[in-house]
Amino acid sequence: AEFLRLDEQAADGQGGEEPALAQPVLAVVGRPNVGKSTLVNRILGRREAVVQDVPGVTRDRVAYDALWNGRRFTVVDTGGWEPGASGLQGSVAAQAELAMSTSDAVLLVVDATVGATTTDEAVARVLRRSKRPVLLAANKVDDERLLAETASLWSLGLGEPHPVSALHGRSSGDLLDAIVDALPEAPRDLGTTAGGPRRVALVGKPNVGKSSLLNKLTGEERAVVDSVAGTTVDPVDSLVELDGQLWRFVDTAGLRKRVQTASGMEYYASLRTKSAIDAAEVVIVLLDASEPVSEQDLRVVTMVAEAGRALVLAFNKWDLVDDERRHQLDRELDRGLVRVPWAERVNVSALTGRAVRKLAPALRTALQSWDQRVPTGQLNGWLSDLVAATPPPVRGGKQPKILFATQAGIRPPTLVLFTTGFLEAGYRRFVERKFRERFGFKGSPVRINVRVRE
């Protein structure tokens, strides 16, 4: 058995070109101070103490990748999902509801030294309705004598309590075995937005407002997160709830703590951008609408298209844009964005909050396109009409024929055209344009490969 943080692999550049496959999600829920975060760290095999010994400290909503006995899964620590006005019991129950709707299995952590409290019972009531597996961890069983206490937790009606000491690691292997057994092989609803949180990267050149926007999206919590800076050493992702849906913003550590390196700043930033894009399914490229679109902006946009990720262009600082600037911007975009006319666009202001709620629908549209597959029959019906009306240009005295097409892949959508000869780039672009007119694919790059059959 081994522990390994996948984040570290990704940071090493071993992440590869393909987006990480969606993994089943385990959500860890429970009252404050039962040891959820300590247990999450134990699951991740970390040595450093991430836990703050301050009761009620608001932590960020975070998701981590874990690997146990060759099985990969995502752990969501709900430690930072803070009480609303509804009091502790209500908020922990709400936390459990959210966890159930966004994960593939739930781990309820109870403090065995305290026993089942009324809050634990309320949460267990919620979790008993779950259609997904629920596991019960009896934490703080630091020695044998406490084992007897765990038996009383059968009363929660969630099956066998798993005794564990998150602090000392006692029996954590057994618990992990049970977790891995309970998790499905693949996350549910793969390919739809109802599965685990989808991965979003927020990128853009310095000072476009990335931190400000993340701040706006995560609300007031962020201030608290910043004040406990240093609790997280590795790149971490943030879970952000937008429009009733949970999103996993990847590698947001750099947006929290502004990394200032005098030299090589841009180099560092572009490496970071590349790795965030690779880790994401959909990318928000943030641009400063009050300034001319720059080479650097376009480079980032190109990076996203080449990486084959879904794309949302967010024009920030819209509060500074007047009519004159707007017309200028239109002209700049006509010229600059010829390669990505399909990108989703939103005009926002991280400062005033203008239109930031339009981001979630744009992300959803882009991802739907990214996941979309056109059945082969439909594709070929459309293609034969297209080719009959506008055949490929003659090359070297020969008319290449398109024999057959298939959508070989999604994420990004990839078409393969089987032909009798070379198709010019101009004709391929024409096919793509017509394909989009017919089938949409707004927000997603579409790849067109040509296989010449001799």
Of 68 and 315, which has the nearer Cβ to ligand GDP?
A: 315
Give the end-to-end CA distance of the chain in Å, rounded to a whole number: 51
Cβ 51 to ligand GDP shortest distance, Å: 4
Give helix then strand counts, H and E, for the chain: 15, 15
Of 62 and 305, which has the nearer Cβ to ligand GDP?
A: 62
Cβ 210 to ligand GDP shortest distance, Å: 3
Q: Is 80 annotated as a binding residue?
A: yes
> Within a 13 Å sphere around the CA of 163, how many CA atoms are in the beta-carbon half?
16
Cβ 316 to ligand GDP shortest distance, Å: 5
Among 152, 80, 144, smallest CA distance to 112 is for: 152
Backbone phi and psi for residue 25, each to the nearest 5 degrees, phi listed first: -115, 130
3-state secondary structure of 206: coil
Residues 6 or more apart from 2 whose CB is under 8 A from it?
A: 67
Residues 6 or more apart from 355 whose CB is under 8 A from it?
A: 318, 346, 347, 348, 349
Cβ 77 to ligand GDP shortest distance, Å: 7
Q: Name the helix (H) or strand (E) containing 331.
A: helix 323-336
Q: Long-range contact list for 325-332, CB < 8 A, 24+ apart?
A: 325/289, 325/290, 328/292, 329/289, 329/293, 332/292, 332/293
Q: Is 159 annotated as a binding residue?
A: no
Q: Are 5 and 40 in contact (CB under 8 A)?
A: no
d(CA 188, CA 209): 35
- Measured at the CA of 108, the angle between CA 105 and CA 112, to 5 degrees, comes to 150
Q: Is 206 annotated as a binding residue?
A: yes
Helix 376-389 to helix 425-439 angle (10° resolution) is 120
Of 230 and 397, which has the nearer Cβ to ligand GDP?
A: 230
Cβ 439 to ligand GDP shortest distance, Å: 35
Q: Are 75 and 40 in contact (CB under 8 A)?
A: yes
Q: Is 254 annotated as a binding residue?
A: yes
Residues 6 or more apart from 116 whose CB is under 8 A from it?
A: 110, 124, 152, 153, 155, 156
Cβ 337 to ligand GDP shortest distance, Å: 20
Residue 7: exposure state from Cβ atoms within 10 A (0-12, 13-18, ≥19): buried
Of 59 and 198, which has the nearer Cβ to ligand GDP?
A: 59
Cβ 352 to ligand GDP shortest distance, Å: 7
Residues 250, 254, 255, 257, CA torsion sign: positive
Q: Is 77 annotated as a binding residue?
A: yes
Q: Is 210 annotated as a binding residue?
A: yes
Interface positions with ligand GDP (CB under 6 A):
30, 32-38, 51, 53, 79, 139-140, 142, 165-167, 204, 206-212, 255, 316-317, 319-320, 349-351
Q: Name the helix (H) or strand (E) containing 237.
A: strand 237-242
Of 241 and 319, which has the nearer Cβ to ligand GDP?
A: 319
Q: Is 134 annotated as a binding residue?
A: no
d(CA 246, CA 231): 23
Q: Are 143 and 169 in contact (CB under 8 A)?
A: no
Cβ 18 to ligand GDP shortest distance, Å: 28
Q: Is 398 annotated as a binding residue?
A: no
Q: Is 209 annotated as a binding residue?
A: yes
Q: Is 225 annotated as a binding residue?
A: no
Of 38 and 232, which has the nearer Cβ to ligand GDP?
A: 38
Q: Is 204 annotated as a binding residue?
A: yes
Q: Is 139 annotated as a binding residue?
A: yes
Of 269 and 383, which has the nearer Cβ to ligand GDP?
A: 269
Cβ 383 to ligand GDP shortest distance, Å: 43
Cβ 169 to ligand GDP shortest distance, Å: 9
Of 240 and 374, which has the nearer Cβ to ligand GDP?
A: 240
- Annotated binding-site positions for GTP: 30-37, 77-81, 139-142, 204-211, 251-255, 316-319
- Annotated binding-site positions: 30-37, 77-81, 139-142, 204-211, 251-255, 316-319
